[in-house]
A = this chain, B = another copy of it.
Amino acid sequence: MEIEPTRVMVAVNESSLKGYPHASISSKKAFEWTLKKIVRSNTSGFKLLLLHVQVQDEDGFDDMDSIYASPDDFRQLRERNKAKGLHLLEFFVRKCHEIGVGCEAWIRKGDPTEVICHEVRRVRPDFLVVGSRGLGPFQKVFVGTVSEFCVKHAECPVIIIKRTAEESPQDPADD
């Protein structure tokens, strides 16, 4: 019997594609890779710690069709965003439950790089899995990469799982 499972933090986020259902391509890939290549059949040996960081841009201010006329509108917006985040986590937690691997999932707001590194310090996972769009150096100038920052600054081992070319949408900055 193994007493303490290996605690794997997986950073997950929402897709940037409109109409694309919930999880981003790269975070779904990172999650599925972890199950297939690391957890395998040893479901009692691992615990997944699913962290979703909601960035300020996703806070609805890029939702140009909305009109904010009262404080209540903002409250509704926050609730809608919270619901979106919960929906995302539910997708991953449900999958873990189906295959019988333990998990914990939670949401934090802020800059993904800072929040992920902060949460690593707080919950001390054995390692961190981060999905990546796998952009080239030219594309990275414009979009930055959360995964590279984590490799440098997170206080635990980090493994980056890149999307393949076939998994990428038409605009590689989308995910």
- Please report the C-alpha to C-alpha distance between residue A1 and residue B135 in the assembled complex, in whole angstroms: 37
Chain B min CB distance to A38 (Å): 6
Contact check, A157 vs B160: say whether CB atoms are below 8 A apart.
yes
Chain B min CB distance to A40 (Å): 4
Shortest Cβ distance from A36 into B: residue: B6
What is the predominant secondary structure among interface residues of chain A facing chain B?
mixed
A41 within 8 A of B: yes
Q: How many copies does the complex hold?
A: 2
- Please report the C-alpha to C-alpha distance between residue A161 and residue B151 in the assembled complex, in whole angstroms: 11
A126 within 8 A of B: yes
Shortest Cβ distance from A147 into B: residue: B151
0 or 1 for each of A2-46: is its CB under 8 Å from B? (1 = yes):
100010000000000000000000000000010001101110010
* A/B interface sample: 25 pairs, CB < 8 A: A2-B40, A2-B41, A6-B37, A6-B38, A6-B40, A33-B157, A37-B126, A37-B127, A38-B38, A40-B42, A40-B45, A41-B42, A41-B45, A42-B42, A42-B45, A127-B159, A151-B151, A151-B160, A157-B159, A157-B160, A157-B161, A157-B162, A158-B159, A158-B160, A159-B159
